[in-house]
Amino acid sequence: MVRRTPTASLQGIVTDICGYREICPGHFRMVEYASLTVPLVISFAEAFAIGLGKAPGDNDRFASFAAGLFAGPVMIESFGRACCVQVNFTPLGARRFFGQPMSELADRMVVLDDVLGREGIALRERLGNAADWDSRFAIVQAFVAARLADARVIPLEIAWAYDRIILSGGRTRIAWLAEELGWSRKHLTGKFTDATGIGPKTLSRIVRFNQALGLSRREAGDWAGIAADCGYADQAHLVREFRDLAGETPTALGQR
């Protein structure tokens, strides 16, 4: 695994870029919990097996693809021969880069041809032929920057509402956001779903969950305190959210 921080011009659009190559045979499994990362994966080798909220089946194979936000755990399997570049976008950055409503990517994987067309195919060929990871990172960052040059700007109202949710740790009331913007909750949810793929309430749930997950790594075992700090009604509420968004209880996660 090789990671790169994006150039300054991509800050707020791309969180990081990584190169991944498996060099040992085997059957590898990992689980990714609900997050605010929108990945673009460009593969040069064997496909991954990916299941949303479940173990992947025989037909759940994906090589080069983009995946929208998903409010649940993602099960990923590989078989010792994977090699890819992954670009991780912020939700609003992904809306600008892909140039389509993020609701079209939410809760699913979309193959590279369908999400980027001929441009995506050409990019995959260039990356596959590149001599090393540094060259690949340079190519993919230039590609992202070029698409952003003509991209539609995110409406200021949505950017403001998104920032309020992030900065509050998911505790900002959706009704207050709508009132401040002079919108109905329905209108806010529609605009939010276009920009991120999910509504503001679901986004808030994912933000709170990740804040709780981060605190658990520093305050192991104090689940009641973590629940209170992150705005959950009680510890039982936190447990339900962990089951939904991670597929496991807090205790099980703490034992990893």
Residues 158-175: tens digit of each pLDDT: 999 999 999 999 999 999
Total domains in the chain come to 2
Domain termination residue (choose one: 149, 168, 188)? 149
Sequence letter at residue 2: V
Q: Is residue 69 located within the same domain as residue 189?
A: no
Q: Is residue 7 located within the same domain as residue 107?
A: yes
CATH code (residue 27): 2.60.120
Q: Which structural domain, as residue segments, surrounds residue 95? A: 2-149
Predicted pLDDT at 254? 66
Q: Give the mean pLDDT of 14-30.
A: 94
Predicted pLDDT at 217? 81
Domain termination residue (choose one: 98, 125, 149)? 149
Q: CA nearest 66: which of 117, 26, 127, 22?
A: 117
Q: Is residue 15 located within the same domain as residue 134?
A: yes
Going by pLDDT thresholds of 50, 70 and 90, the confidence category of residue 249 is confident
pLDDT tens, residue by residue, 105-148: 999 999 999 999 999 999 999 999 999 999 999 999 999 999 99
Q: Is residue 128 located within the same domain as residue 173?
A: no
Q: CA nearest 102: which of 187, 18, 172, 37?
A: 37
Q: Is residue 47 located within the same domain as residue 141?
A: yes
Q: Is residue 32 located within the same domain as residue 90?
A: yes
Q: Is residue 11 located within the same domain as residue 104?
A: yes
Q: Is residue 125 located within the same domain as residue 178?
A: no
Predicted pLDDT at 120? 94
Going by pLDDT thresholds of 50, 70 and 90, the confidence category of residue 256 is low
Q: Is residue 53 located within the same domain as residue 136?
A: yes
CATH code (residue 243): 1.10.10.60
Q: Is the pLDDT of residue 238 over 80?
A: yes
Q: Is residue 125 located within the same domain as residue 237?
A: no
pLDDT tens, residue by residue, 36-91: 999 999 999 999 999 999 999 989 999 999 999 999 999 999 999 999 999 999 99
Predicted pLDDT at 145? 96
Domain termination residue (choose one: 91, 118, 149)? 149
What CA–CA distances, in Å, run from 144 to 184, 201, 253? 34, 29, 35
With a CB cutoff of 8 Å and minimum separation 6, the contacts of 202 are: 71
Q: CA nearest 42: which of 107, 106, 137?
A: 137
Q: Is residue 80 located within the same domain as residue 134?
A: yes
Q: Is residue 193 located within the same domain as residue 225?
A: yes
Long-range contacts formed by 54-63: CB under 8 A, 24+ apart: 62/109, 62/111, 63/111, 63/112
